[in-house]
Every structure is written in C-alpha cells, then in structure tokens.
C-alpha cells in the first residue's frame, strides 16, 4: 500500500513540474526587464499522514511544515507534528505516541529563470521529540519448544521519554498555482541522544519514526503549502 501511495505522489509531482514550467513560461512577459523574487512565509501540511491513516487504523498523526526565505537561496525551515502508532511485530505489540519539532535550514540548488520560484534543495535539521511507549502484549521466544506460544497482556506504559537527532534532507518544491506548492523530501536521520525505558527499546519515535541499526532512520514526506508574500526583491 505504501509503495502505491509513493508512486502516486511521485507521479503527481512530475506532472506538477511539467505544468509549472509551462505556466511560468506563459506568465513571463516577452519584453520584461524588471524581475522580482517573492520573500515570505510558506505554510504547509504533510498529506501522506492523512492518506496512510485512512487505510491504516493503527496510525494517526499530522505534520505542519513551514519555511521563511532569508536570502536568494537560503530558507529557515521547521516541521512539527503529532504521531500515534500501534505496531505489531514478531513476539511484540506496542504503541508509540507523542509530539515533535524539527528546526533547520534549506539551501536551494535550483537556478530559477524569470520569476519562477521552484526549489531543489538540500538541508539539515535538529529534531526533538517527547513521547510515551506502551507495551501492549508480548510472547516469550522459546526456540525449539513444543509448547504453544504464550501471549502475555502487559499494557505497561513508559512515559516521559525524549529523543534528540540530526537529519540530512533532500527535497523539491514546485509551484503549481499562484503561491501554491507541492513538495516532497527524503530525510536521513541519526540519533544524538535518547531516553529509553528500562528493559525496553524505543523502536518507533514520533518524528524520527523507525529506529534502525546504529540508531539511524529514514522517512519521506509529501506536502501542500501556500506562500504568504511579505515583500519582493529585484533579481
């Protein structure tokens, strides 16, 4: 299901790139001399969370994203959200729930022509999350036993947990209509520090998502955002 959603979102973005390029070409006056860049606050929402939640009752959450243009290619960026996920794995069922915030910068690597304002960017983030973990059930793993598998209803909550991490981000934002953008990004994450419960690991962390070996993580997001222009600068 996630692969189908990924293909759908990528297809939409490719169509949007083509549409944006054609639209921008039509908008630029042939004899125009003075061109302006818009500077302002862009606010958006990650649309992948509601889509996945619609098909998966065990996942609930939302993410808001924003950036502010500081110079020609540099943007201050942030994401914040809430995450509630119940996960079923071999021998264990658990829930992760909490909120997070990420702060950092993006650098636009794409050279716009005319008054285009698309982005292909690289960025960094610092992430912080406060959350709880609940161990719902578990089954002791007795290798080679002849006895039936035993499921233990634990319902044990571990609260007041937190995590700090760093991210490398690669993404793009495409203008599809007046001040309206579609975007996607890939995030590679590395844990800096985390508070873990006794005798239980943080397998999923809000904002970080799945914690892999060597305390690394990886995620995607797909956003719809709107630019609130504040001022313009001549190119």
d(CA 95, CA 88): 9
d(CA 46, CA 187): 14
Q: For residue 114, is it left (φ>0), alpha (ψ between -120 and 50) or beta?
A: left
Note the pLDDT of residue 30. 47
Q: Does domain 2-27+37-230 have CATH number 2.40.160.20?
A: yes
H or E segment to which residue 219 belongs:
strand 216-234
d(CA 32, CA 190): 47
Q: Give the residues across from 182 on adjacent strands.
A: 174, 224
Question: Quick one: 226 exposed, middle or buried, by C-beta within 10 A (0-12, 13-18, 19+)?
Answer: middle
Whole-prediction pTM = 0.80
Reported as a pLDDT band with limits 50, 70 and 90, residue 200 is confident
Chain mean position to CA 140 = 35
Query: What's the pLDDT tens digit per position in 2-20?
Result: 445 545 555 555 554 454 4
Please give the DSSP secondary-structure letter assigned to residue 73: S
Calculate mean pLDDT across residues 183-199: 93
Reported as a pLDDT band with limits 50, 70 and 90, residue 150 is low
Both tokens of 164, joined, read 């700090």
Reported as a pLDDT band with limits 50, 70 and 90, residue 1 is low
Reported as a pLDDT band with limits 50, 70 and 90, residue 156 is confident
- By residue count, the chain amounts to 235
Sign of torsion over alpha carbons 203, 126, 97, 193:
positive
Least confident window among 19-28, 114-123, 140-149, 195-204 = 19-28
Note the pLDDT of residue 213. 85
Most confident of 16-20, 53-57, 189-193: 189-193
d(CA 52, CA 147): 38
Reported as a pLDDT band with limits 50, 70 and 90, residue 57 is confident
Reported as a pLDDT band with limits 50, 70 and 90, residue 110 is very high
Higher pLDDT, 32 or 35: 35
The 8 Å CB, 24+ separation contacts for 141-149 are 141/91
Where are the chain's structural domains? 2-27+37-230
d(CA 185, CA 173): 9
Token pair 């915030």 is found at: 101
pLDDT at 76 over 60: yes
């Amino acid at each position: 299901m996630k692969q189908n959603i990924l293909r759908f979102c990528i297809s939409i973005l490719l169509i949007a790139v083509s549409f944006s390029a054609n639209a921008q070409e039509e908008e630029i006056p042939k004899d125009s001399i003075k061109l302006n860049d818009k500077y302002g606050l862009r606010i958006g929402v990650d649309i992948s969370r509601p889509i996945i939640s619609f098909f998966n009752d065990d996942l609930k959450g939302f993410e808001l994203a924003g950036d502010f243009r500081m110079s020609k290619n540099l943007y201050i960026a942030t994401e914040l959200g809430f995450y509630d996920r119940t996960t079923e794995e071999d021998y264990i069922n658990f829930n992760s729930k909490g909120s997070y915030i990420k702060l950092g910068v993006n650098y636009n690597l794409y050279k716009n022509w005319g008054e285009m304002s698309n982005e292909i960017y690289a960025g960094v983030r610092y992430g912080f999350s406060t959350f709880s973990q609940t161990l719902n059930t578990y089954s002791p793993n007795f290798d080679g036993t002849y006895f039936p598998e035993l499921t233990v209803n634990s319902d044990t909550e571990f609260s007041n947990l937190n995590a700090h991490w760093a991210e490398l981000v690669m993404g793009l934002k495409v203008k599809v209509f007046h001040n309206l953008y579609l975007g996607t990004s890939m995030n590679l994450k590395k844990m800096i520090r985390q508070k873990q419960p006794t005798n239980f690991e943080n397998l999923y962390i809000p904002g970080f998502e799945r914690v892999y070996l060597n305390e690394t993580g990886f995620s995607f997001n797909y956003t719809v955002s709107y630019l609130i222009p504040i001022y313009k600068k001549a190119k």
